[in-house]
Amino acid sequence: MIEIKNLSKIFNTKSGQVVALKNVSATIENGDIFGIMGMSGAGKSTLLRCLCLLEQPTEGQILLDGKDVAHLKGKELLAAHRQMGVVFQGYNLLMQKTVAENVAFPLKLTAYDKVAVQKRVAELLELVGLADKAESYPSQLSGGQKQRVALARALASNPQVLLCDEPTSALDPLTTKSVLELLKDINKKLGVTIIIITHELSVVKSICNRMVVIDNSQFVEQGSTQAIFENPQSSMARLLLGKED
């Protein structure tokens, strides 16, 4: 379970303070596929960077099974990183490494058992349907395939949570559908909690069971996806759903 508790992030810039997150709270249950939806500039990216521990919040906590991970340092931070897999919009694969080496990368950071690593990589590539591409390089793959590699890599260390930052924004509709199917499948098979940050309605609608709407640095609405889609309360949700003129 992940609890986001009273999280705030304020950036000090030359032109003054910029509030990127204002006292946001949410609880994400184990096994959820949780959508965080908002327009550009709403604070989505900052929230993601806080969640994947690249950025420390100014205030508040991120509790992973009751333990605050938002303010860790050193070895504890490295260990916390390994409990979260992250998939990025731009894939961020190592271009000079093969698909198999990319997936093995997080494993090799800690493990030295070559055979075990190989076995795990084969398993993961099988899971994302790219077993035949193990020896290819990222430049030889399509966008959807690259995202599958990124997904396999993010899952390599058996994370509790999978964070997805606009995972399908660079993909065409058909590829988007197949990647979303895969995410759903992984959620079911591995029981991993998935958090998806996106501006695409269709993504949230098709796979998220719960969601929040973020607007102007705040969570303006949260609840089950179905309830929000049927009866949006906040003006931003109504706007996003096209229920407001």
Partner 1 sequence: MADFFAQYGDLLLEGTLETLYMTFIPTVIAYCIGLPMGVLLTTTKQGGIMQAPRFNAVFGWFVNLFRSIPFMILIFFVLPFTRLLVGTSIGATAANVPLAIAAAPFVARMVEQSLEEIDGGVIEAARCMGATNWQIITRVLLVESIPSLLRGLSITIITVFGYTAVTGAVGAGGLGNIAFRFGYQRYQTDVMYATVILVVILVCIIQSVCNLLAKKFDKRNR
Q: What residue ranges bind partner 1 (CB under 8 A)?
A: 52-54, 78-79, 81-82, 84-86, 88, 90, 92-98, 105-106, 108-110, 137, 139-140, 153, 157
CB of 89 to partner 1, least distance (A): 9
Closer residue to partner 1, CB minimum distance, 41 or 90: 90
- CB 227 → partner 1: shortest distance, Å? 32
Q: Pick the closer one to partner 1 by CB: 93 or 180.
A: 93
Choose between 123 and 234: whose C-beta lies nearer to partner 1: 123
Q: Show the tokens assigned to 154.
A: 């993010």
Task: Please report how close the Cβ of residue 223 comes to partner 1 at its closest, in angstroms.
Answer: 29
- Could you tell me the smallest distance in angstroms from the CB atom of residue 69 to partner 1? 12
The C-alpha atoms of residue 183 and residue 172 are separated, in whole angstroms, by 16
Residues whose CB is less than 8 angstroms from the CB of residue 16 and which lie 6 or more positions away in sequence, other chains included: none
Cβ neighbors of 172 (< 8 A, separation 6 or more) are: 143
CB of 232 to partner 1, least distance (A): 33
C-alpha triplet 37, 40, 46: angle, nearest 5°: 75
Q: Which is nearer to partner 1, 74 or 242 (CB)?
A: 74
> Which C-beta is closer to partner 1: that of 25 or that of 92?
92
Task: Give the nearest distance from C-beta 139 to partner 1 in angstroms.
Answer: 5
- Tokens for 192, please give them: 């991993």
Q: Toward partner 1, which CB reaches closer, 17 or 96?
A: 96
